[in-house]
């Protein structure tokens, strides 16, 4: 399974989750947010970056999740209808998943694009080492994206 991430760091420790909460986790939990396409990774990065904080370049990481790897999928239909507006509900779900160590990967619905998924990596899961950086690409950040 090929996954994608845009990051300033070429590692998968999940350290960012220790410093700040996200849609699918509480602060203090290591987690790595991934996308199923480079465009998905870029869109997620743009949403979480202000126009003043756009980096001059970014690193796109292509990651390979080696089979077999434990993976769960959370369908939007199983969430409350207004889940996009209630981040506390998704944080609770994701944080419980992280603590449970049930799987290394959790596919979650994108709050930005219907019928699209992001993938969460639990770096504390025994299978987390099966997700490896396959290649990296350095790109200038096209400022037209931020309007």
Please say if the pLDDT value at position 54 is more than 90. Answer: no
C-alpha to C-alpha distance for 141 and 143, rounded to whole angstroms: 6
Q: Are 37 and 5 in contact, with CB atoms under 8 Å apart?
A: no
Please say if the pLDDT value at position 47 is more than 70. Answer: yes
Contacts of 88 (CB under 8 A, 6+ apart): none
Please say if the pLDDT value at position 49 is more than 90. Answer: no
Q: Are 55 and 140 in contact, with CB atoms under 8 Å apart?
A: no
Q: Are 74 and 109 in contact, with CB atoms under 8 Å apart?
A: yes
Mean pLDDT of 23-32: 98
pLDDT at residue 86 in the model: 97
pLDDT at residue 147 in the model: 59
Domain positions in the chain are: 2-141
Any idea which of 10-14, 44-48, 72-76, 104-108 has the lowest mean pLDDT?
44-48
> From residue 43, how far is each of 48, 49, 68, 111, 127 by CA, in Å?
9, 10, 29, 11, 27
Locus of tokens 């994701």: 94
17 phi/psi in degrees, rounded to 5: -65, -20
pLDDT at residue 46 in the model: 84
C-alpha to C-alpha distance for 30 and 28, rounded to whole angstroms: 7
Left (φ > 0), alpha (ψ -120 to 50) or beta: where does 131 sit?
Answer: beta
Please say if the pLDDT value at position 55 is more than 90. Answer: no
C-alpha to C-alpha distance for 38 and 64, rounded to whole angstroms: 13
Contacts of 78 (CB under 8 A, 6+ apart): none
Tens-place pLDDT, residues 96-127: 999 999 999 999 999 999 999 999 999 999 99
């Amino acid at each position: 399974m090929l996954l994608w991430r845009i990051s300033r760091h070429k590692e998968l420790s999940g350290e960012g989750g220790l410093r700040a909460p996200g849609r699918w986790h509480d602060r203090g939990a290591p987690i790595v947010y991934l996308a199923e396409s480079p465009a998905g990774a870029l869109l997620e990065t743009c949403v979480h970056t202000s126009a003043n904080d756009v980096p001059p370049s970014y690193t796109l990481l292509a990651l390979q999740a080696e089979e077999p790897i434990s993976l769960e999928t959370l369908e939007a239909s199983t969430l409350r209808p207004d889940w996009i507006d209630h981040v506390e509900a998704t944080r609770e779900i994701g944080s419980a998943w992280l603590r449970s160590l049930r799987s290394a990967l959790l596919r979650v619905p994108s709050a930005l694009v219907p019928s699209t998924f992001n993938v969460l990596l639990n770096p504390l899961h025994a299978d987390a080492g099966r997700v490896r950086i396959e290649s990296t690409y350095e790109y200038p950040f096209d400022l037209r994206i931020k309007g």
